[in-house]
């Protein structure tokens, strides 16, 4: 396995976490990745293994049952898990970054005590519900409504493409508390909603191109009653929570892309050294050497961009641009590398018997979810041009 020399850019503790996570993922997750893809489901034993090593609450403070690690460590763990299985990686990433992250940062003491403890231990799984059938990239135009009556919020609407939908017990749901659609992002609030609440239902698992083991569903809200104490943060200011949370989520998707790219490089090196053509291993041919060299170079660049974004997050410094840069670059290069990995394998790369076929399918989503590549370009450009 190829490992970029990142130890000079992170602490010894962070490097030790990365080594441990890499060994764990290779031993416990990688052997199950093909069956997870085939069966389109992550078995309970995988969640139990992640719980045992503390990967279900990486950055959540120890007082709430988490591991209390920093965001660099979370990024490194996510790279390792995604290298073994991207479906498992994104399931863990959403649960950590998009659910526990905002509860820990914006939640009341009551919410932290009640929800972080069951999420960080992995006893219950979380999901993040922002996108809707008519609002994806334009999240500020969401239509799900929340009306306060007799001390509770009544939620009506639907959410689309929700990762962890059928695994989740706890949902962070964004809804419009001021009905005026012309206000856009203003008047949106965030809520912590339990699966057991009457009026919440989960749709069927979507049939996807890749990351098949992750659960992607619609969420339906039909007069779902949510206690007022489950309002996350301040009423009508939920969109700020959504965007702040996505910064961390985008670092997680960068980690996913890097993990898949590393897996492609591993398989490409292995195959090119074994496969012979014209009397010698194809690794001896210049065309293959150049492909491998480009893979390694761009992976290392993406790795360092991801570490930078995670470090800025740990420092409490604004990192929206850096998170978007990391996601944009990593998702771009992984799709290029997956294509090259299939090409290196030739006809074999088109067969399900070889892992690069799965990597090719898994990679595409990294350019789409948690902000498309087009959205990342806008975020980066607005920051540089100082346009709000």
* pLDDT digit string, tens, across residues 195-209: 999 999 999 999 999
Judge whether residue 388 has pLDDT over 80: no
Judge whether residue 182 has pLDDT over 90: no
Contacts of 167 (CB under 8 A, 6+ apart): 42, 91, 125, 127, 215
CATH topology (fold) of 240-385: Butyryl-CoA Dehydrogenase, subunit A; domain 3 (1.20.140)
258-310 pLDDT, tens digit per residue, is: 999 999 999 999 999 999 999 999 999 999 999 999 999 999 999 999 999 99
Q: Of the CATH numbers 3.40.50.970, 2.40.110.10, 3.40.250.10, 3.30.750.24, which one belongs to the domain with range 126-236?
A: 2.40.110.10
Range 108-116 average pLDDT: 98
**Catalytic residue status for 225:** no
Question: What is the pLDDT at residue 387?
Answer: 87
Cα gap 262→1, rounded to integer Å: 8
CATH of domain 7-120: 1.10.540.10
330-376 pLDDT, tens digit per residue, is: 999 999 999 999 999 999 999 999 999 999 999 999 999 999 999 99
- The model's confidence at residue 163, banded by pLDDT at 50, 70 and 90, is very high
- Residue written as token pair 């409490």: 316
Cα gap 330→134, rounded to integer Å: 28
Question: What is the pLDDT at residue 180?
Answer: 87
Whether pTM exceeds 0.85: yes
- Residue written as token pair 């006809």: 347
Cα gap 80→99, rounded to integer Å: 21
Question: What is the pLDDT at residue 146?
Answer: 98
Averaged confidence pLDDT in the chain: 97
- Point out the catalytic residue in the list 298, 340, 357, 370: 370
Task: Please state the domain extents for the chain.
Answer: 7-120, 126-236, 240-385
């Amino acid at each position: 396995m190829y490992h970029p020399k990142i130890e000079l850019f992170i602490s010894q503790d962070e490097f030790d976490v990365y080594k441990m996570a890499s060994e764990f993922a290779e031993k416990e997750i990688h052997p199950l990745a093909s069956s997870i893809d085939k069966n389109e489901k992550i078995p309970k034993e995988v969640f139990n293994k992640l719980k045992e090593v503390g990967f279900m609450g990486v950055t959540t403070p120890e007082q709430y049952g988490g591991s209390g690690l920093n965001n660099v460590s979370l990024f490194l763990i996510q790279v390792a898990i995604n290298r073994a299985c991207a479906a498992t990686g994104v399931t863990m990433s959403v649960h950590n970054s998009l659910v526990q992250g905002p509860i820990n940062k914006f939640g009341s003491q009551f919410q932290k005590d009640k929800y972080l403890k069951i999420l960080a231990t992995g006893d219950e799984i979380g999901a993040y519900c922002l996108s809707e059938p008519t609002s994806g990239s334009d999240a500020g135009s969401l239509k799900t409504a929340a009306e306060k009556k007799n001390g509770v919020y009544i939620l009506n609407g639907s959410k689309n493409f929700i990762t962890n939908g059928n695994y989740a017990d706890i949902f962070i749901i964004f809804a419009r508390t001021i009905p005026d659609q012309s206000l856009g992002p203003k008047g949106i609030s965030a809520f912590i909603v339990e699966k057991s609440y009457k009026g919440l239902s989960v749709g069927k698992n979507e049939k996807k191109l890749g990351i098949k083991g992750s659960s992607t569903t619609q969420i339906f809200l039909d007069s779902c009653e949510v206690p007022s104490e489950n309002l996350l943060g301040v009423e009508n200011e939920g969109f700020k929570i959504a965007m702040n949370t996505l910064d961390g989520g985008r670092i997680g998707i960068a980690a996913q892309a890097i993990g898949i790219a590393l897996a492609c490089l591993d398989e490409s090196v292995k195959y090119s050294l074994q496969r012979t053509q014209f009397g010698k291993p194809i690794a001896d041919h210049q065309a293959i050497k150049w492909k491998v060299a480009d893979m390694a170079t761009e992976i290392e660049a993406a790795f360092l961009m991801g570490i930078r974004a995670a470090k800025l997050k740990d420092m409490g410094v604004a990192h929206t641009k850096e998170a978007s840069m990391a996601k944009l670059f990593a998702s771009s290069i992984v799709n290029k590398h997956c294509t090259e990995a299939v090409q290196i394998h030739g006809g074999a790369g088109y067969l399900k018997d070889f892992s690069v076929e799965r990597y090719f399918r898994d990679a595409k989503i990294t350019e789409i979810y948690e902000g498309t590549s087009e959205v990342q370009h806008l975020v980066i450009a607005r920051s540089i041009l100082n346009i709000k």
